[in-house]
Amino acid sequence: MPVFHIDGEPVEYEPGEKVLSAALRCGKIIPHYCYHPGMSVVATCRMCLVDVVDLGNGRPAPKLQTACSMDAAEGMKVETLNPKVEEGRKLVNEFLLVNHPLDCPICDQSGECTLQDYAFEYGSGKSEMDYSKRVNGWRDIGTFVALERNRCIQCSRCDRFTREITGTNEFGMFNRGHELTIDTYADRPMTNKFQGNMADICPVGAITEKEFRFKRRVWKLKKNRSICTGCSTGCNVTIEHDRNEVFRLKPHENQNVNKWWLCDEGRLTYRLMNERKTRIHQPLGRVDGKLEGVSWEEAYAAIAERVADMSPLPEEVLALTDTHASNEELFLLQKLLKDVFSTDNTFCPLPKWEQSESEFFINTLITTDKTPNRAGALALKIKGDAKSAKLKKAIEAELKVVFVLGNPFEAEVEVLEKIKKAQLVVHLGTFHNSWSEIADVVLPGQYYSEKEGTFVNKNQLVQATEIAVHALRRTRPEWRILADLSAALGQQSSYGSSADVFNAMTEQLKAFSGLSYAEICGVGKELRQQTKDSGMKVVKAQT
């Protein structure tokens, strides 16, 4: 690859690439506001001014050039640390602060504000402006975000976002010069489903998320990488939390999945991470018709005893789960039924779903399949719609033992009625639902933010969640519950972690062969053998 030099160090670039893009890729810091890799170049903030001492033809550029609009060239020499560039950054910073309000003490962006960071790093440190500042006021611009126009530095990222990324043209630039404002016109709030991204790309606190406003200072937040479980796209996120409370999800860049974006619906899944009232807090056993708290050992012992009494035949045992479960959970559930009860009657619903097609990539992110692991279930060959013949037949039998993981067949009352008749119903789940109401034993699992697990997204990419917050004290991750349950029923195993289970899967299953846990936890990796999904339909996205 051709090479040019920044401050004497060689930087590789692709032909046609701009200086700033190549520099950022190689870890060089050139400050900028308006540049964004996913949108067109406008070169209006002027913060990325650099000194091109050699254009590649032996001659210097006549004045400072913006790195974001300058094509890299062989033999080019760029300097970013000399006094000319320092002066350039200082003056741009000064001009931006001339009309910017001193809102830091009350501004959400404080701590992750590009203007704040650059003012500290490159600014002159004193103000020479003693006239009244331009005042434009607060605007309600949408369901998800608010606009504080005084803070806007007119970088126009939000304007380009609604034009180039979502194609909804809700934002625009109005008036000109000193009066230039970038917002929605009149009172037409935005309705696109990706407004949260505009708060992400805004370098200052002009656009902020309504959900997060005034809730927590960002430097108190701990950040863990994970994946969104709101639908089968599995966008990469960071879970940002403080003292075990999750405050927001932000997208993590992954060019193979969600690029830089996250939909608003996905951002709101953070609320479930904090939900406590409907959580199952401890193991429960039914005594005289009522569910009472028991210990884990008591629960396992009770199940083992009843199974030994019943000695169920294979066709008298059944497991129901849903595609919210991780690969490890599905694998171990299947294994439990196979090893202990010699049956493969594990079912989960796989309703039809729609994938949007659109000239705007971001519209393809939201699918109608609101579960994260449909492809995993398919890869593990677990299937069974409520209307499937095999399931219908299975639940008609005189059922003795039924395991329910999660909340499958939520709306299918007939299934619930049939299962109710079984002699022993064990429910593994995180939230109280209709299954825990009829179960004989309820074993509390953990939510996505509290456990590790791998999931396969709609494009057959295997990705993993990371433990972000502490789980509820008396819950255990489902993979562990299933392993312990197997052991209590006579099948020992030696899994020490979720990763161990995954590694076992890569050894025993062709679909998962050749994958390593470390790779999954990075940017994700595709399944070697991919299963065709006959339930998917491609539709044109609504604009």
Binding stretches for another protein (CB under 8 A): 41-47, 49, 63-64, 66, 69, 71, 88, 91-92, 94-96, 98-99, 128-129, 131, 153-154, 156, 169-180, 184-186
Q: Record the tokens describing residue 358, joined without a space.
A: 């659109």
Contact yes or no for 328/502 (Cβ under 8 A) = yes
Cβ burial of 155 (10 Å; 0-12, 13-18, 19+) is buried
- The total number of residues written for the chain in this structure: 543
Per-residue 3-state assignment (H helix, E strand, C coil) for 191-255: CCCCCHHHHHHCCCCCEEECCCCCCCCHHHCEEEEEECCCCCCCCEEEEEEECCEEEEEEECCEC
What's the closest the beta carbon of residue 259 comes to another protein, in angstroms? 23
CA atoms of 520 and 253, how far apart (whole Å): 15
Is 190 or 464 the residue whose CB approaches another protein more closely? 190
CA distances from 539 to 162, 234, 360, 364, 404 (A): 22, 19, 14, 10, 33
Cβ closer to another protein: 360 or 431?
Answer: 360
Q: Give the C-alpha distances (Å, rounded to integers) separating 442 from 165, 175, 420, 422.
A: 46, 63, 14, 15
The first and second tokens of residue 446, run together, are 């953990």
* Cα(415)–Cα(422) distance, integer angstroms: 11
Q: Which long-range contacts (CB under 8 A, 24 or more apart) does 82-91 make?
A: 82/51, 84/51, 85/49, 85/50, 85/51, 86/122, 88/46, 88/49, 88/64, 89/31, 89/47, 89/49, 89/118, 89/122, 90/122, 90/123, 90/124
Helix or strand holding residue 386 (H, E):
none
Secondary structure of 352-382 in HEC code, one letter for each residue? CEEEEECCCHHHHCCCCCCCCCHHHHHHCCC
Q: Quote the least distance from Cβ 64 to another protein, whole Å.
A: 6
Residue type, 164: E
Strands 461-465 and 222-227: unpaired
Task: Please state the separation of Cα 105 from the chain's center in Å.
Answer: 30
Whole-Å CA distances, 255 to 23, 28, 261: 19, 20, 10
User: d(Cα 52, Cα 6) in Å, to the nearest integer?
Assistant: 9
- C-alpha angle 286/424/345, rounded to 5°? 145
Q: Order across the sheet with 3-6: list the strands.
A: 9-12, 3-6, 77-79, 49-54, 65-66
Closest CA to 207 of 215, 198, 220: 198
Q: Which is nearer to another protein, 163 or 279 (CB)?
A: 163
Give the shortest CB-62-to-another protein separation in angstroms. Answer: 8
Beta bridge partners of 237: 226, 251
Q: How far apart are CA 69 and CA 88, in angstroms?
A: 16
